[in-house]
Amino acid sequence: MSEATVRDRLWLEMAETKVAVRESVGRRQLPKLLRMFWAGSAVAFVLMFVVALIERAMGFSHWHYNPLSGDRYQDLMEFPPVYRMLHTAAFYGGIGNSRVAYPPLGMVVYAALYATGHTIGVYLTTAGVWIAGCVLGVRRSLMREGINGLEATLFPLTVVLVSFPIAGLLQRGNIELYLWMLTALGAWAFWRGKNGAAAVLWGLAAAMKLYPIVLLGMFLPRKRWGAFALGLAAFVGSTVASLAWLGPTIVVAWHGALRNVFGYQGIRAMQWTLHELMANHSAYNLAKFAAMITRVPLAHLTLPYYAVGAVVLAWAWFGRLQKMPATNQLLALTAFMVALPPVSYFYTLPQLYAPWVALVFVALRADREDVGVPGLKQAMLMMLPLFATFMLFTFPRVFLFGGLIQAVMLIVLFGCAVRYPFATETAVTD
């Protein structure tokens, strides 16, 4: 047998072996942890209906505040009358109690939606395209990891379909949808090494609702000073441009936006209602609860609360997080920015899906390499109740309220990110 024939045969055998390995890998199932999460999501979805039916049969339906019972798209369609006064000083005074309490770029997003003449249709189309793109993107990545096509398709699709925060976001028509798009696309760009794009996206997100500014911290441990500066420039530049467009002058728009945003925050921060206890997962509610027990006036609580939050984040970041994997950093910053604002309802929780996807792929790599990742199971399972309806944890007669419970879960999730490195190798590199 000639040398060429032997070489050809060896090449053929190697090719057949690669095909066999590829096909074998393609039949790989989701690891046990992800199947547990998958099943848990379905159970939580079913329990939502079971609990509602039991309470109705027992006459206890009044126990729960139902966030999906109000008018559809109420957040989206609240401001058309106010926007008829756009570009005037009267715009910032609103009509009655209806004021646009968003930073300048958020106000511009509303204006752009109203200008289409088909506000609800544009909003729902955007949501449908975005969610479909996310599902297909995760499906493609799962198949690249060797997961079989059926599970790679059904896993992200069903998780989205049973997600209460996504359903609540769409039912309310809240523009948190666009914030979610910006932050998640920023995370995707960051993971692909496109630091400039990530910085701009996160800067624009901060110009819409302030708190995503913390995501720019992802660049600091990697010494990407240019990207960090670009993110700040995108935040400042888009804010100034929005103020100039909103008018009638930058100064009037600036004072009007500040008054509305912080005025709204101040009013809601003082409230202690069933709605706040159940639907608001802010850690501020825990602070209010402690303040009421200790008879500290709520009016004196806000500044110490923010100061403590800043100290906690600085301690966690400089003490541990800056040396940990990117997955830890993204999870910690996202949990922090969702839990810190005094007003943070269920429709802000889709922000957690970007770090959740990162954890999914840590779980896949750990399963493939047959290694354990301490804390991964706790973090993944902690997200189950955060993606479920808060009504499952609300029983006022025994003083259980979904918002308070989810606030504690967000704090625990933040703690998991600070404590456990979510990587399959000992030495963490970025």
* Sign of CA pseudo-dihedral 356, 360, 365, 366: positive
* Contact between 97 and 260 (Cβ < 8 Å): no
Ranges of each domain in the chain: 28-419
Q: Give me the half-sphere count of Cα atoms (radius 13 Å) on the Cβ side of residue 336.
A: 28
Tell me: pLDDT of 1 over 60. no
* Contact between 325 and 421 (Cβ < 8 Å): yes
Q: Identify the pLDDT of residue 363.
A: 95
pLDDT classification of 67: cutoffs 50, 70, 90: low
Q: In degrees, to the nearest 5, what angle opens at C-alpha 117 toward C-alphas 106 and 249?
A: 40
Q: Identify the pLDDT of residue 59.
A: 66
* Contact between 295 and 289 (Cβ < 8 Å): no
The residue that leads in pLDDT, 1 or 334, is 334
**Of 202, 239, 243, 244, nearest in space to 219 by CA:** 202
Sorted by sequence, the CB contacts under 8 Å of residue 213 that are 6+ apart come out as: 202, 203, 206, 235
* Contact between 375 and 416 (Cβ < 8 Å): yes
What's the rounded Cα separation, in Å, for the pair 212 and 278?
24
Number of C-beta neighbours around residue 86 at 10 A: 20
Length in residues, the chain:
430
Cα separation values, 52 from 64, 272, 273, 389, 400, Å? 9, 24, 21, 11, 16
* Contact between 187 and 212 (Cβ < 8 Å): no
Tell me: pLDDT of 6 over 60. no
Tell me: pLDDT of 298 over 80. no
Sorted by sequence, the CB contacts under 8 Å of residue 428 that are 6+ apart come out as: 323, 324, 325, 421
Tell me: pLDDT of 2 over 50. no
What's the rounded Cα separation, in Å, for the pair 168 and 117?
24
* Sign of CA pseudo-dihedral 48, 53, 54, 59: positive
**Of 83, 79, 101, 117, nearest in space to 247 by CA:** 83
Q: Identify the pLDDT of residue 160.
A: 95
pLDDT digits (tens, 9 = 90+) for 133-189: 999 999 999 999 999 999 999 999 999 999 999 999 999 999 999 999 999 999 999
What's the rounded Cα separation, in Å, for the pair 310 and 21?
50
pTM above the 0.85 mark? yes
What's the rounded Cα separation, in Å, for the pair 313 and 288?
20
**How far apart are the two ends of the chain, measured CA to CA in Å?**
50
**Of 320, 275, 347, 308, nearest in space to 417 by CA:** 320
Q: Identify the pLDDT of residue 374.
A: 94
Q: Which two tokens stand for residue 4?
A: 């060429």
* Contact between 37 and 382 (Cβ < 8 Å): no
Tell me: pLDDT of 367 over 60. yes
Number of C-beta neighbours around residue 302 at 10 A: 17
Tell me: pLDDT of 194 over 70. yes
What's the rounded Cα separation, in Å, for the pair 167 and 350?
10
Tell me: pLDDT of 370 over 50. yes
Q: Identify the pLDDT of residue 51.
A: 78
Sorted by sequence, the CB contacts under 8 Å of residue 244 that are 6+ apart come out as: 250, 253
pLDDT above 90 coverage of the chain, percent: 68
Number of C-beta neighbours around residue 156 at 10 A: 23
What's the rounded Cα separation, in Å, for the pair 156 and 46?
18
Q: Identify the pLDDT of residue 26.
A: 46
Q: Which two tokens stand for residue 263?
A: 């005025």
What's the rounded Cα separation, in Å, for the pair 287 and 295?
12
